[in-house]
């Protein structure tokens, strides 16, 4: 069975009764790892960052990236990620773009695939603009390339506007 290495960005700035944003990110990794045909192979540190866009007054976000090996097709993997978001309290409000959320899981890279389908764009269209994704991604995939542009993502990070980022924990890989 052929497997593909995919990178998934995680973000959270709302808590649940079961746990805070760090717990939510770790629980998302656990649920992805427990899914059939998916294995988490690496996970970045957890980064605390200011919100980008969206309504004013939001809490800071916790962001991270996990690397998975999967035999799932990209759309099936995305559907799994959306189900995990929903299971961890994510409510999508079309009227509020970049609003607060319990969990955001973005499929940012899927091997060297370039995919443009309704609701599925890989690599993530704003990947090279988001240092809150690039920093943790480069921790776990330091030589990553954007397959759409052929640009090294380390170079893209140097072009991003600087943001205050602090490492505030480890995501961890399930056993």
| Cβ atoms of 65 and 81 closer than 8 Å | no
Catalytically annotated residue among 90, 130, 135, 148: 90
Crossing angle (nearest 10°) for helices 21-34 and 74-87: 140
| Cβ atoms of 38 and 45 closer than 8 Å | no
Catalytically annotated residue among 26, 31, 48, 101: 101
Domain residue ranges in the chain: 4-170
Q: Is 79 one of the catalytic residues? A: no
Catalytically annotated residue among 106, 130, 135, 148: 106
Local confidence pLDDT in tens for the 175 residues of the chain: 799 999 999 999 888 778 899 999 999 999 999 999 999 999 999 999 877 766 676 788 899 999 999 999 999 999 999 999 989 977 766 555 655 778 999 999 999 999 999 999 999 888 888 888 999 999 999 999 999 999 999 998 887 766 656 777 787 788 6
Q: Is the pTM of this model over 0.95?
A: no
Q: Which CATH architecture has domain 4-170?
A: 2-Layer Sandwich (3.30)
Q: Is 90 one of the catalytic residues? A: yes
Q: How far is CA 172 from CA 44, 62, 87, 119, 128, in A?
A: 8, 14, 20, 29, 25
């Amino acid at each position: 069975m052929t497997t593909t290495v995919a990178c998934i960005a995680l973000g959270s700035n709302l808590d649940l009764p079961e746990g805070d944003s760090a717990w939510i990110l770790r629980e998302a990794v656990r649920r992805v790892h427990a899914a059939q045909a998916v294995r988490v192979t690496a996970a970045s540190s957890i980064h605390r960052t200011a919100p980008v866009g969206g309504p004013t007054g939001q809490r800071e976000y916790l962001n991270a990236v996990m690397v998975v090996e999967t035999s799932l097709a990209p759309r099936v993997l995305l559907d799994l990620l959306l189900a995990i978001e929903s299971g961890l309290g994510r409510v999508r409000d079309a009227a509020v773009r970049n609003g607060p959320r319990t969990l955001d899981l973005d499929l940012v890279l899927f091997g060297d695939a370039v995919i443009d389908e309704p609701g599925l764009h890989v690599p993530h269209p704003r990947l090279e603009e988001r240092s809150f994704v690039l920093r943790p991604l480069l921790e776990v995939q330091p030589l990553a390339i954007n397959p759409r542009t052929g640009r090294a993502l380390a170079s893209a990070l140097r072009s991003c506007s600087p943001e205050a980022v602090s490492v505030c924990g480890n995501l961890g890989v399930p056993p």
